Amino acid sequence: MTVDTEPQEPESTAMRFEVVSSALKEGTAAAARVGRLALPGRRPIDTPNFIAVTSRGTLPHVTPDNISKHLQVSGAYFSLEDFVEKSQQNLSRPPPIFSAPTSTNHPTPLYSFTGTPSHITTILAARRLPAVPSPIGNSTKSISVFTNTGFQNLSTTDYLSAASTLEPDITIPLADLTNNSPPGTSPTSKRALRMAERTDEWIVDWFSSPLSTSTSTFAPVLPIPYPIQWEYLSRLAEDYIPSSQLSGLAVHDPDIIPDLATHQPSLLSLPLLSLSNPSNPHLILRHIALGTDLFALPLINAVSDAGLALNFTFPAPPSPGSPPLPLAVDLSLPSFSTSVTPLSESCTCYACKSHHKSYIHHLLQAREMLGWTLLQIHNHATMSAFFGGIQRSIKDATFEDERLSFSRAYDSEMPAGVGERPRMRGYQYKSQGGEENAGKKKNKPAWQKELAVEDDKVEVPETDGGRELQEKGVGEVVKGSGR
């Protein structure tokens, strides 16, 4: 049964969310739904939808002006650890973002410092997505965050102070997460219970302190079984929904949504933001079928870095008897060196209208940043069209049939991508204590000698740099010439 209502614009300064259409059927606890999330001064977000995931305060490879011109992005996920260098306790020098000047177009320090377009909803969390595992773990009063100068402790008090200064539209309070469990595994029951107890204590501390009335709170829902965190979830439903302090949920594992529908149905009146980091559109569709409203998708940045152009639509094209279609094409492959067709025939984004596969293949081979910029524009446009098709199918009561057709039409996983990625940043691989490749360089050298010709060697001083030149076959160290 499909239920439709007309979306209403917010009448106050508070965030508003309402379900416009639901595919809920008799006998099911949760189902796909269409909604509208509206915040004052921001572009309304029709759900299901996704938000962009930033790195160091910006969407990788895309400048703010191009975000406004070429991307249909309504929200952006920021992490506090991207902006801080030291522990936030007893700071002698606050991070520069805290004192960023504001203006009409950039009304808060977060908008001003990052240059985020004013129509985009900002979501602030303590950690990146996905988070780099900490070798020291969390404590009873704080979590461990990966700053520019290494891991530092961040307490609820310090994080609340930072959120009050930056004034994001939505803030996600601290949660006691391990971040290092292998995919498909769960923490031990003892560790899971400690996660629930700590997060419960921290949420009480969070709501006991005043926060800007313009900032909404999305409480974390932990990736552990419902019975272990039922007391924490009951507190959210019974204490913070009636007081209008709780505006949404940040769900780390959408499989818990049916349990919420059964045991805490009032929580499903809130928008559900998934932080589960799905690796392909099939998982996105599965989570939407459970009732997820919003997704933070690091997947898009990852496939762009891999040189992949997304190539799927929803609904899927009819292809009876045909082999599954690839979810993306790897433009670094030599076969695209002479292809003058768009990245996707059905796409109308700037990259597809203005350029072709051969040009982007050349950019990737030359390691020109424009190649990844155009891929970001295309991949975000493809994902926007994908979610638009999902919204229409839910309203038309065809979502489940179209979801099944999609699973048959496309490969189950993204291609790996064989091209060379952009140079890795430290937070993308550090802190993996004891990993086999620890100490090895992650990036290809910016230069190297192609042919070792004895006569080409030059004399270099006996320094670290000189010894590196000698290892490359370019120079020959002169003993005693270093400082």
380 is in an annotated binding site: no
Q: In this predicted structure, what is the pLDDT of residue 165? A: 92
- Rounded CA separation 374/480 (Å): 50
pLDDT above 70 (res 441)? no
Asked whether residue 355 is marked as a ligand-binding residue, the answer is no
Query: pLDDT, tens digit, for every residue of 98-153?
Result: 989 988 878 899 999 999 999 999 999 999 999 988 888 899 999 999 988 888 89
d(CA 125, CA 218): 10
What is the tens place of the pLDDT at every residue in 400-426?
A: 999 999 999 999 999 988 877 786 655
Q: 186 pLDDT exceeds 70? A: yes
Q: How far apart are CA 420 and CA 227, in angstroms?
A: 45
Residue 458 has a CB neighbour count (10 Å cut-off) of 9
Q: What percent of the chain has pLDDT above 90?
A: 67
Question: pLDDT tens for residues 43-56?
Answer: 999 999 999 999 98
Q: Determine whether the annotation assigns residue 356 to a binding site.
A: no
Note the pLDDT of residue 159: 94
Average pLDDT rounded to a whole number, residues 213-236:
95
When pLDDT is cut at 50, 70 and 90, the band that residue 17 belongs to is very high
Tell me, what's the pLDDT at 422?
82
- From residue 49, how far is each of 34, 142, 176, 236, 346 by CA, in Å? 9, 32, 27, 24, 20
242 or 183: whose pLDDT is higher? 242
Q: Please indicate whether residue 105 or residue 432 has the higher confidence score (pLDDT).
A: 105
Model confidence pLDDT, tens digit, residues 140-166: 999 999 988 888 899 999 999 999 999
352 annotated as belonging to a binding site for a ligand: yes
